[in-house]
Every structure is written in structure tokens, then in C-alpha cells.
Amino acid sequence: MPDQLRSSGAPEHLDRDAPVPLHAQVSEQIRARILSGEWPPHYRLRSEPELAIELGISRGTLRRALSTLIRDGLLVQVRGRGTFVTSTAIEPSIAQKLTTLSEDFARQGVAMTTQVVTHQVMAAPSPVAALLDLRPGQSVLRLERLRASSSGPVAWLVNYVRVDLAPGLDRVDLADHSLFGLLENEYGLKISTGRRTFSATAATGRIAAALEVPEHFPLLYLEQITYLDDGRPIEYSDVWIHSERMRVTSLLSRR
């Protein structure tokens, strides 16, 4: 007699006599729930023992079914937290860890391209000089970059980096390298802390054109100051994020 998938909604049948393997039946039924929106992004599945008992299958069969969906990008497992339905948008951990977008994308296996638009040494604008603890007119490297995924432009980044702490950085190709990685690995600088502020803003001018959105399209704006382990500021950045192609998610704990 067929087993039933009873986790929510109307029962669905698992046919042990069908030529389709049991794990494939389970993965397809879970897939249907995700694609229909019944299990929305960030939905946490029950624990493996609970779900296996509920479905009337072995944990090995369940794990094979879940592995298929994880490989297809529909589920993600977070150590110590459980298995979650993924979002259709890219979700970096920049609200939780002091990482760069390129590091997050690489860690998640997201294919990303970077276009360096501006790469020049210039006198630091007064507000930037103050934030980076520089004298008025002292030089910084100004970077303008556009990051894009297969779905299109994702983020427009403007960075100001202290060249007194990283001489020659203006001669490095930053299209294929993580900025933080270069500062740490090539210059021996230990990046320790940072302050990030998130707010909403409307797309205008060059930013709207770069992200291929209309004027006044809602964007997520990130402002950041990064510090070395000795307390010196090393980098200031402004980042505008396409709000429909990338979400910023925080995993929180009460204690």
C-alpha cells in the first residue's frame, strides 16, 4: 500500500511498487511544494528523524531525496540550524560576517563577473579623508566596480582604499581578485572589524543605468568602514544592491 507524504496540505502518495525510486518520488514531491510556494523561501524543514518517520521512509532514503534538492539549489543545510528552502535571490552573509561580496559568491558557488569601471589614485574627498583618518588631500585608491550574475547586474561598488598602507594596489587587476584577500595576503594587513549600515535608496543616474533599472527603482544601500587589528581604518565603501536579485539575510540568536 502506498505511503503518504503528510507534512502539510493534502496527502501525497509514495508508491513502493512504482519503477521510480522512492527517494526520487520524495524529492519530486518536495520540489512541487517549493515551486508552488507552499514551502516558501526560508521555510525550515522538520528534522531528518521527524520527517523520515512522518514520510514512513528510512533516513537514508530521505537524505538521498534532500541531497538531490540541495544539489539543484532548492534547499540548503546550515550546520546546527537545519535544512531550509532557499531564496530565488542571492543571499550573501555580509550582514553577519566581515566578508566581501566576491568571497560570499565564491563560497556559495555563484558564478559572478566583475567589471572595473574606475581604478585611480586621487585626493580623498573631505568626508572620506575624515573617515579614513587621513590628512586633507592625502591619496586614496578609488574603485568603481560592477558585479553581475547570470541574471544581470547585481551590485555597484565604490571603494576608497588607503594607498599609504597598500602601495601599488592601483597596479593590481581587481576584476578577478577579492579586495580583502589582496590586502591580507599580498600586503600582510590583518582586517579585523568593520561597521556596515544598511538603508533603502532610490536608483538615479549612473547607478540606475549600471544596474539596468529605471530611475527611482528601490535599491539596498550599504555603507562600510573597515578597520585593521590595530584600529586603523583601511577602506571605506558605498555599495548599491539590486533589491530583486540579491537579498541580505541575518541569522540571529537571542543569547
pLDDT tens digits, one per residue of 209-218: 999 999 999 9
Q: What CATH class is the domain 3-85?
A: mainly alpha
Work out whether strand 152-162 and strand 233-242 pair parallel, antiparallel, or are unpaired. Answer: antiparallel
Average pLDDT over residues 23-52: 84
Q: Which residue has the cell 528552502?
A: 85
pLDDT at position 189 over 60 = yes
pLDDT in tens, 106-152: 666 667 899 999 999 999 998 899 889 899 889 999 999 999 988 89
Q: Which residue has the cell 584577500?
A: 181
Rounded to the nearest 10 degrees, how much is the dihedral formed by the CA atoms of 29, 31, 33, 39?
Answer: 140
DSSP the chain: --EEE-SSSS-EEE-TTSSS-HHHHHHHHHHHHHHHTSS-TTPBPPPHHHHHHHHTS-HHHHHHHHHHHHHTTSEEEETTTEEEEPPSSB---TTTSS--HHHHHHHHT---EEEEEEEEEEEPPHHHHHHTT--TT-EEEEEEEEEEETTEEEEEEEEEEETTTSTTGGGS--SSS-HHHHHHHTT---EEEEEEEEEEEE--HHHHHHTT--TT-EEEEEEEEEEETTS-EEEEEEEEEETTTB---------
Domain boundaries, the chain: 3-85, 101-242
pLDDT in tens, 156-169: 999 999 999 999 99
Contact 48, 58 (CB under 8 A): no
Residue 9 confidence (pLDDT) = 39
**CATH architecture label of 101-242:** 3-Layer(aba) Sandwich (3.40)
Residue 251 confidence (pLDDT) = 56
Fold equal for 3-85 and 101-242 = no
